[in-house]
A and B are shown apart, each in its own frame.
Chain A
Amino acid sequence: MARIRFRDVRHAYPPPKGQEPVYALNEINQVWEDGGAYALLGPSGCGKTTLLNIISGLLTPSEGEILFDGKEVTDLPTSARQIAQVFQFPVVYDTMSVFDNLAFPLRNRGMDEKLVQQRVEQIAEMLDLTDNLKKRASGLTADGKQKISLGRGLVRSDVNAILFDEPLTVIDPHLKWQLRSKLKELHQQVGVTMIYVTHDQVEALTFAEKVVVMYEGIVVQVGTPVELFNHPRHTFVGYFIGSPGMNVLPCSIDGGQPVFGKNLLNIESRIKGQLQGKLEVGIRPEFVEFSDDGIPVRIEKVEDLGRYQVLTLTHESEIIKMVMAEDQTVPSENPRIQFDPHHTKIYCDDWVVEEAVNE
Chain B
Amino acid sequence: MNKTQNNKAWWLVVPVLVLVAFNAFIPLMTVVNYAFQETFGDNVFFWEGTTWFEQVLRSPRFHASLIRQLVFTGMILAIEVPLGIGVALTMPRKGPWVSVCLVLMALPLLIPWNVVGAMWNIFALPEIGLLGYTLNSIGIDYNFTNQPISAWLTTVVMDVWHWTSLIVLLCYAGLSSISDDYYQAAHIDGASRWAIFRYIQLPKMKRVLTIAILLRFMDSFMIYTEPFVLTGGGPGNTTTFLSIDLVKIALGQFDLGPAAAMSLIYFLMVLLICWAFYTIMMRNEEQ
A residues lining the B interface (CB < 8 Å)? 53, 56, 58, 77-79, 83-85, 87-89, 91, 93-96, 104-105, 108-109, 136, 149, 152-153
Contact = CB atoms under 8 A, between A and B. Distances in A.
B191 A108 contact: yes
A85 B185 contact: yes
Given A91-B181, A136-B287, A85 B200 contact: no
B92 to A, nearest CB: 15
A120 to B, nearest CB: 13
A84 B190 CA distance: 10
Contacts of B187: 58, 77-79
Contact of A152 (B181, B189, B199, B200): B189
Contacts of B190: 79, 105, 108-109
Interface of B: 179, 181-182, 184-185, 187-192, 195, 199-200, 203-204, 287
Interface centre among B184, B189, B190, B195 (most CB of A within 10 A): B189
B158 to A, nearest CB: 36
A93 B181 contact: no
Contact of A83 (B188, B191, B200): B188
Contacts of A149: 185
Contacts, number: 52
Nearest to B179: A89
| Secondary structure of the B contact surface, majority rule | helix
Given A93-B200, A94-B203, A108-B195, A84 B188 contact: yes
B185 A91 contact: yes
Given A58-B184, A91-B181, A91-B182, A104 B203 contact: no
Contacts of B185: 85, 87, 91, 149, 152
Contact of A104 (B179, B181, B189): B189
B181 A88 contact: yes
A85 B195 CA distance: 18
Contacts of A105: 188-190
Given A78-B184, A84-B188, A93-B203, 12 more contacts: A53-B184, A58-B184, A91-B182, A93-B199, A94-B203, A95-B199, A96-B199, A104-B189, A108-B190, A149-B185, A152-B189, A153-B188
Interface centre among B188, B191, B192 (most CB of A within 10 A): B188
Given A95-B199, A95-B203, A85 B191 contact: no
B181 A87 contact: yes
A167 B57 CA distance: 63
16 contacts: A53-B184, A56-B188, A58-B187, A77-B187, A78-B187, A85-B185, A85-B188, A87-B185, A88-B181, A91-B182, A91-B185, A93-B200, A93-B203, A104-B191, A105-B190, A108-B189
